[in-house]
């Protein structure tokens, strides 16, 4: 992506995506939107990122780690406050990592596994929590094995780590581990086994919705041939069982930080996609799972993005960072009315 010119940095931008396509690094970058959306361009991120871990606390969007320029993992963490369009830097991560997602437990942010630069095999077993008020990190019991690109969720006071790739960065794991946070608070807890994933994969989106865990999309393999999947699986902790959820309209992955729950809907913003019979692409679509149980196209990004951060705060959709081609990074920050 070319640098943004001054003329392009007007506070308000009307974006029309023109029919066509560009092929970059073996990925098709689609430009086939059929609708116009009004997006407002905000101040850029302090450092452009993709594959960051994100969470919303007190109507502020927290960014942890992720890839920066040169596909290098970062320790840096920042907080965006939409009330005044400001950024605040917080304590760095203990090490530079990517390919993890964050979950919130009261005033603590949990994360587990991921890829660490310079570490043999890259995948790690580390588990940490971040104290929002104390601005510090505390180590927790390690995962039973190293994992990267898996999903972390919380239901009640139990953490769940699901799937991801093993140390070879390509073999998908079916393992599903749980950690009781109440027992941990009393001084004794380890990860235990729960019902394994029915279709092991990585780089899927993970959310807790109505006391169940939704594992959305994802891909088979990572360092060989990445195969996007439309599959959705739903885990019910009440009976330790899995069921099939509403299938996506296309294979999809790489939207971990862009998937969230707002109201009674699950939103998924950007990522990678492979339409049936088509080629793997960077995605501009904004999808939502309606209360009726159907995935709907509710908008499009100003440009296709892999692994952006996204959330809805006070009726507005914010989208930050991401990669336009799966290798380079950009630090644009956009906002529009929530769909």
Gap between the Cα atoms of 95 and 75, Å rounded: 6
The percent of residues above 70 in pLDDT, for the chain, comes to: 88
239 neighbors 232 (Cβ within 8 angstroms): no
- Are the C-beta atoms of residues 169 and 123 closer than 8 Å to each other? yes
pLDDT tens column, 146-196: 999 999 999 999 999 999 999 999 999 999 999 999 999 998 899 999 999
Domains of the chain: 10-293+307-337 (2.120.10.80)
Residues in the chain, pLDDT under 50: 1-36
What pLDDT is stored for residue 3 in this prediction? 35
Task: Dump pLDDT digits (tens) for 222-234.
Answer: 988 889 999 999 9
List the structure tokens of 105. 């437990």
Contact 99, 152 (CB under 8 A): no
Q: What share of the chain is helix, strand, coil (3-state, %, to 5)?
A: 5, 50, 50
pLDDT of residue 145: 98
Calpha distance 116→99 (Å, rounded): 9
Burial class of residue 308 in the structure, from the number of CB atoms within 10 Å of its CB (0-12 exposed, 13-18 middle, 19+ buried)? buried
Report pLDDT for 37: 57
Q: Where are the alpha helices (DSSP H) in 200-243?
A: none
């Amino acid at each position: 992506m070319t640098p943004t010119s001054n003329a392009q940095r007007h506070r308000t931008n009307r974006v029309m995506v023109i029919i066509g396509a560009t092929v970059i690094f073996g990925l098709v970058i689609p430009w086939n939107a059929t609708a116009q959306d009004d997006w407002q361009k905000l101040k850029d991120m302090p450092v452009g990122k993709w594959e960051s871990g994100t969470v919303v606390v007190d109507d502020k969007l927290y960014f942890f780690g992720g890839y920066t320029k040169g596909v290098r993992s970062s320790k840096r963490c920042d907080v965006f406050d939409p009330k005044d369009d400001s950024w605040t830097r917080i304590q760095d991560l203990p090490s530079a990592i990517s390919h993890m997602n964050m979950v919130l437990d009261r005033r603590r942010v949990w994360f587990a596994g991921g890829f660490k630069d310079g570490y043999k095999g890259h995948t790690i077993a580390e588990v940490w929590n971040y104290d929002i008020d104390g601005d510090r990190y505390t180590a927790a019991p390690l995962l039973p094995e190293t994992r990267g690109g898996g999903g972390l969720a919380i239901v009640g006071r139990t953490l769940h780590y699901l799937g991801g790739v093993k140390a070879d960065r390509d073999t998908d794991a079916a393992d599903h581990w749980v950690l009781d946070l109440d027992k941990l608070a009393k001084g004794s807890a380890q990860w235990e086994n729960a019902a394994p994933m029915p279709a092991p994969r990585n780089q899927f989106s993970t959310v807790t919705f109505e006391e169940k865990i939704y594992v959305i999309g994802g891909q088979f393999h990572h360092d060989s041939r990445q195969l996007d999947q439309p599959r959705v699986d739903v885990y019910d902790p009440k009976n330790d069982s899995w069921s099939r959820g509403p299938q996506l309209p296309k294979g999809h992955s790489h939207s971990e930080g862009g998937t969230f729950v707002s109201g009674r809907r699950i939103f998924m913003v950007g990522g990678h996609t492979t339409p049936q019979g088509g080629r793997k692409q960077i995605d501009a679509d904004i999808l939502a799972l309606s209360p009726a149980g159907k995935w709907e196209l509710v908008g499009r990004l100003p440009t296709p993005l892999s692994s952006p951060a996204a959330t809805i705060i006070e009726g507005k959709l914010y989208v930050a960072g991401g990669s336009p081609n799966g290798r380079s990074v950009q630090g644009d920050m956009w906002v529009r009315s929530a769909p």
